[in-house]
Amino acid sequence: MYRCSDPDRAARGSRLKPRHATAAAGGGRAPFMEVALPSRRMALLGVAAVLCAALPAMPAGGQERAVVSNQIEVSQSEASLHLEFSDGERLAIAFSGGRATVNGESLGSYELGGAADREWRSLLARVLPLSDGPLAEALTRWRPGPGLSVAERNLMAAVGGYLAGALAGAVQSNAPVPVEDDAQELLQAMARREDRDAFVRALDGVDAEALTVLVGRDHVVRAGTQVEGGILLVGGELDVRGRVRGDVIVVDGTLALGSGRIDGDVRLVDSRLRGSAGGVAGDVADMSERLRREELENAARIRAEVRRELSRPTRSSRPANSFVSRVRRASRVTFDALTAFVVTGLFGWLVTVLAGGRVGVVARAISRQPARSAVVGLAGGFAAAPAYLIGIAVLVATMLGIPLLIAWVPLFPLAVLAAALVGLVGVADHVGRWVLRRSRRWLDRRYPGRPSRVRLVGLGAMFVPWVAGAWLQVLPLTGGVGEALRVAGTVGFILALATGFGAVILTRGGVRPTGWVDPYDDFGDDGDGDDPW
Amino acid sequence: MVTRNGRSRRAAARTTRRSVLAGALAAVAGLAGPAGLDAQRWKTLTSARQVTGEEDLRVRVDYGAGVLTVRRGDAGELYSALFHFDEDWALPRAEYARGRLEVGLSASDGRDSDLGDWPDEASLDLELAGGVPLDIELNFGAGQAELDLTGLAVRKLVVNTGASESVIRVDEANPERMESARINVGAAGLRVDGVGNMNADRVAVKSGLGSVTLRLDGEWAHDGHVVVSMGLGALRLQAPRSLGVRLRRPGSFLASIETDGLEKRGKVYQSANWERAERRVEIEITAVLGSVDLDWIP
């Protein structure tokens, strides 16, 4: 009978986990192993290891069971090893047709003639003439050689784990469960999925090196066994009845959790949990649902931001929500109105001084034909830009007109602007008179009646609705009235401009009076510009 | 006692086994060439079992064709079988249960059991425990068989061969008294060396067609009884001069018997030392057509 005299090997044999850790430290990830954990057996193994270590001179030691029968079968498509131990347990490791199995259960796939196949055949070749002790020793000391891929290394590390465990007496018919390294299948599964985000998110923070990948098949973590590292199962059912010392990720499958225990987190991607999650030490997260929820939250947040952005007014049109901002806005309107009043008033005073008679003719035309003046003014306003462009075109087309073009380009707009302002002054004349009629005493006392002053009053009165509307909007309850007043003032000012501009056109710039002369008209057409008052 | 020739033969057998193993190693290591290049799909199978308190072992070997070798194995090994065969043709069998071992290579399903079509390269190398009493039944079809029973404790031996060249060798005295040894040869050649070492009460050889050589050397632990029945062929007996030999011809038809060195006493022929020989062997010969020769060896 073969007995171990090597304390280290005895310890390896009695503690499968360090054996696996050794394999993992060899460059590959920790192999996925289920280790039988009958406490009594483990205790016995531990005692055996201690005894073997304490008595190195003893010929017998850590090998718990002798190999009473071995069978090696090798052909071009198959290479298998069958061991029978003294207690009747059997271990059958077969590499056949591209799939490695242990006691009939799949251990993983390999390439026929590949490095793993060659490695396995090489081991069998070495142990072929051996039996019992030398056979056990050769199998125990075997380590996968270099040149293996990660998957092959994992596969062979698992094989080595089984051999070591079996020779140490830790193998039971329901103990170590095959390892499957389905990296290739995983890539294909990921490539097939449309929502890879959940897939990828599920792997956040997971120790990928310790993760065992199972694709397209069911797997059971048996009661009384444990799995080192996490499990990623795609397209199958994972039935955890033992213990998983890591995270469990299930994609497109089912996680059955009865009396099992999971030390890490559980992440489900398009999968369902059957049973109670009480055995999960970490969090249980439905990554698909979480991702959908986050997507909905993101969409809602984006919509809210878009709405907020769309509803945010521009700087010019932003309503004065606060009192201070409303006061600031009213003040700004007042300042603008005063500026406009000063400019137009200065212009009106100059026009009155320089061509008071023509302004009087325009004012009378407005008085006599207000509607016609307004229509003509609107038409003239709309026609001004085309006329300007046509004039440029005509002058350009005619070689002789090019020198005139130099004057046309700046003077035409100025002429239109001057006409509009003259017309506005004419309208202001009427507005001033209207105001003065209602406040004659007060105005007479403070402003003796002169045309320039009347027109200043009229100009000022035309800006009053804007200023008043702005200040009414400062108050909380008169905001609507103020806004209406502001709109009315704008419309009135536009009408005033159009009417005045039309009157200027009708009177040819105040040169030709329109209609008959009312002898009782307050406006004496004396052409001297004197105030009739 | 191990003779010098015995040692050399065993060494040669070991060499043969090593060569078989080397071939097997090359095959298992994937060095035998890529699949598909060879029409035959060779397979190598080893099966071994340790002695775990067995009191005896009944061994049955059914072997179709090829090369069969049986010998003593390493200490502590109950049996060890090394098969090398074309898996398209043959199915191996190595089963042990409750003191019974069945080893063999039979025609695979769907294959004609006509041995003439079997690949000649198939082989079975069987090693048996030396210290365990053995009941051996060997059924061998065609090819070459070498049964080296040296060091084996054979309690019972039955050998049935078809068209083969078989050699049974016993270089050391059988520690177990053999109840009987029955050797049935169809159409082949048979040579048995060390009949005395068989420690058999009775050795029966039946040959249909072919030649049979019985070398009556070895350590005779007790007086022996050899029965030979031949159809058509030649029987050659080789006996040490120290051995008392008595030859009977209960029934012979057209068979010539050379009895040099034997004296005729009534219906029997016996050696001159029959009365004083330490060990005596009685030989009964029944032959239809053929010859019987007796040679004396030192």
Interface predicted TM-score (ipTM) of this complex, two decimals: 0.78
B48–A124 CB contact, under 8 Å: no
Identify the CA nearest to A225 among candidates A259, A272, A251, A276. Answer: A259
Residues of chain A in contact with residue B32, where contact means CB-CB under 8 angstroms, are 76
User: What is the model's pLDDT at position B225?
Assistant: 92
Residue, of B114 and A171, whose pLDDT is higher? B114
Give pTM, 2 decimals.
Answer: 0.51
d(CA A271, CA B117): 59
Angle at B215 between CA B214 and CA B220, to 5 degrees: 115
Interior CA angle at B82 toward B195 and B106, to 5°?
A: 85
Q: Which residue of A has its CA nearest to B21?
A: A129
Residues in A closer than 8 angstroms to B30, CB to CB, are 113, 117-118, 121
Q: Give the CB-side neighbour count of residue A253, counting CA atoms within 13 A.
A: 26
Task: Tell me the CA distances in angstroms from A198 to A193, A250, A251, A271, one per residue in order.
Answer: 10, 11, 9, 11
Q: In DSSP terms, which residues pair with B138 in a beta bridge?
A: B61, B159
Mean pLDDT, residues A38-46: 38
In this prediction, residue B156 carries a pLDDT of 93
**Measured in whole angstroms, how far is the alpha carbon of residue A50 from the centre of its chain?**
60
Query: For A325, left (φ over 0), alpha (ψ -120 to 50), or beta?
Result: alpha
What parts of chain B have a pLDDT lower than 70? Answer: 1-40, 109-120, 250-256
Q: Say yes or no to pLDDT of A10 above 70.
A: no
Which chain B residues touch A121 with a CB distance below 8 Å? Answer: 28-30
Cross-chain residue pair B50–A67, CB shorter than 8 Å: yes
Model pLDDT for residues A505-515, shown as the tens digit of each residue: 888 887 777 65
Best of B15, B19, B21, B28 to disrupt the A interface (most A CBs within 10 Å) is B28
Strand order in the sheet with A34-36: A34-36, A225-228, A243-245, A261-262
Type and span of the H or E element at B168: strand B154-169
Give Cα A70 to chain centroid, integer Å.
62
Closest-CA distance, B205 to chain A, in angstroms, reads: 35
Contact, A233 vs A249, CB < 8 A? yes
Q: Which residues of chain B have a Cβ shorter than 8 Å from any chain A Cβ? A: 21, 24-25, 27-30, 32, 34-35, 41-50, 52, 74, 76-77, 80, 87, 94, 96
- Residue A498's φ and ψ, nearest 5 degrees, are -65, -45
Question: What is the average per-residue pLDDT within A344-370?
Answer: 84
**Is pLDDT at A405 greater than 70 in this prediction?**
yes
Q: Name B191's Cβ contacts closer than 8 Å, sequence gap at least 6.
A: B166, B167, B168, B212, B213, B215
- Cβ of B46 within 8 Å of Cβ of A67? The answer is no
Contacts of B286 (CB under 8 A, 6+ apart): B228, B229, B230, B249, B250, B251, B252
pLDDT tens per residue, range A410-440: 888 888 888 888 888 888 888 888 887 777 6
Range ranked top by mean pLDDT from A21-35, A442-456, B98-112: B98-112
**CA–CA distance, A259 with A240 (Å, rounded to integer):** 8
Interface test with B, best of A2, A3, A63, A71 (most B CBs within 10 A): A71
Q: How far apart are the C-alpha atoms of B99 and B56, rounded to whole Å?
A: 6
A residues 38-67 lying closer than 8 A (beta carbon) to B:
66-67
Which residues are CB-contacts of A301 (< 8 A; sequence separation ≥ 6)? none
Give the Cα separation of B263 and B244 in Å (integer).
12
Cα–Cα distance between A367 and A455 in angstroms, integer?
Answer: 14
The distance between the two most distant Cα atoms of chain A, rounded to a whole number of Å, is 148
SS3 A277: coil
Q: How many other CB atoms sit within 10 Å of the CB of residue A432? A: 28
- At residue A483, the pLDDT reads 85
pLDDT at residue B137 in the model: 94
Tell me which residue of B9, B11, B38 sits closest to B26, measured CA to CA: B38
Residue whose structure tokens are 């072992």 = B57
More confident residue, A120 or A171: A120
Q: What average pLDDT does this structure show over A253-266?
A: 87
Phi then psi for A427, rounded to 5 degrees? -65, -40
The mean per-residue pLDDT over the stretch A194-203 comes to: 72
With beta carbons under 8 A apart, name residues in chain B contacting A70: 46-49
Average pLDDT (A76-86) is 86
**Mutation for testing the B interface, residue in A63, A67, A75, A86 having most B CBs under 10 Å:** A75
Regarding predicted confidence, which is higher, B253 or A204?
Answer: A204
Residue B286's beta-bridge partner residues? B229, B251
Yes or no, beta carbons of B30 and A132 under 8 Å apart: no
Decide if A131 and B74 are in contact by the 8 Å CB cutoff. Answer: yes
pLDDT at A482 over 80: yes
CB atoms within 10 A of CB B212: 24
- Interchain CB distance below 8 Å, A76 and B42: yes
Confidence class of residue A524 from pLDDT cuts 50, 70 and 90?
A: very low
The answer to whether B236 and B256 are in contact (CB under 8 A) is no
A121-158 per-position pLDDT tens digit: 888 888 887 777 788 888 888 887 777 776 777 788 77
Q: Which residue has the tokens 């009408």?
A: A495
Give chain B's largest Cα–Cα span.
70
A134 contacts in B (CB within 8 Å)? none
Q: Give the closest-approach CA distance of B166 to chain A in angstroms.
A: 26
Q: Assess A79–B contact: CB distance below 8 Å, yes or no.
A: yes
pLDDT at A532 over 50: no
pLDDT of the residue at A160: 81
In the sheet with A212-215, reading across from the earlier edge strand, the strands are A212-215, A231-234, A248-251, A266-269, A284-286
Closest residue by Cα to residue A263 from A228, A309, A287, A289? A228
Q: Is pLDDT of A484 > 70?
A: yes
Contact B99, B55 (CB under 8 A): yes
Q: Would the CB atoms of A122 and B77 count as touching at under 8 Å? A: no
Q: Residue B24 in contact with residue A73, Cβ under 8 Å?
A: no
Q: Are A171 and A89 in contact (CB under 8 A)?
A: yes
pLDDT score, position A51? 33
Q: Which of A78, A121, A131 sits opposite B48 (nearest CB)?
A: A131
* Residues of B with Cβ-Cβ distance to A131 under 8 angstroms: 48, 50, 74, 77, 80
Nearest chain B residue to A124 by CA: give it. Answer: B28
Task: Report which residue type is found at A388.
Answer: Y
Q: Mean pLDDT across the stretch A456-472? A: 86
Question: What pLDDT shows up at residue B103?
Answer: 92
Task: State how far residue A225 is from chain B, nearest Cα, in angstroms.
Answer: 31
Q: Taking a C-beta distance cutoff of 8 angstroms, is the pair A235, A213 a contact? A: no
Q: What CA–CA distance (Å, rounded) separates B165 from B207?
A: 12
Contact A76 B76 (CB under 8 A): no
- Check A74 against B27: CB less than 8 A apart: yes
Q: For residue B151, what pLDDT is reported?
A: 92
pLDDT-derived band of residue A190, with 50, 70 and 90 as boundaries? Answer: low
* pLDDT on residue A196: 66
* Option in B43, B52, B96 nearest A74 (CB): B43
Cβ neighbours for B263, distance < 8 A, ≥ 6 positions apart: B269, B270, B271, B272
